[in-house]
Amino acid sequence: MTASIGISVYPKDGEDEQTLMKNADMAMYFAKEEGRNNYQLYSKNIQTQAFERFSIETNLRRALERNELYLAYQAKLDFKTGLINGVEALLRWQSQYLGLVTPTQFIPVAEETGLIVPIGRWVLRTACAQNVAWQRQVCLLSVWR
């Protein structure tokens, strides 16, 4: 059994019991995220990070519905032949409320909340559909030649 402790100090972190408890609770969750079995003092930085994470989680839940996720494709070249031998699909998120959110910001949240599963399904469907479209283009180009 381990303990994760959040600490808030009167009056710096709050002047009433409710505010002190809320801030200590926020610090405790931050302590758990940092690996458990430790303590964390409340700070404005923790509050800012908690708000940012909450905002990302809230908006990520609607990102698929709003068509805010997209794939950026990066060609993989064979340096010996100069030909493309593969393509890498990079997941990106352009939120209508948060702007461009980097994968390092939203992927951990998606993993922690389980949203990574529906997002992963969307990535696979989208990348496969793009692959089919490219293959059809190549077939059409070879017919026209």
3-class secondary structure for 24-80? HHHHHHHHHHCCCCCEEECCHHHHHHHHHHHHHHHHHHHHCCCCCEEEEEEEEECCC
What value does the mean pLDDT of the chain take? 90
Nearest to 69 by CA among 61, 77, 78: 61
- Residue 143, pLDDT score: 64
Enumerate the β-bridge partners of residue 88. 74
Nearest to 68 by CA among 122, 111, 26: 122
Whether the pTM exceeds 0.75: the reply is no
Please give the average per-residue pLDDT across 126-145, as a whole number: 83
Q: Considering only residues 9 and 35, tell me which one the structure prediction assigns the higher pLDDT.
A: 9
- Residue 1, pLDDT score: 80
* pLDDT digit string, tens, across residues 52-83: 888 999 999 999 999 999 999 999 999 999 99
- Residue 45, pLDDT score: 84
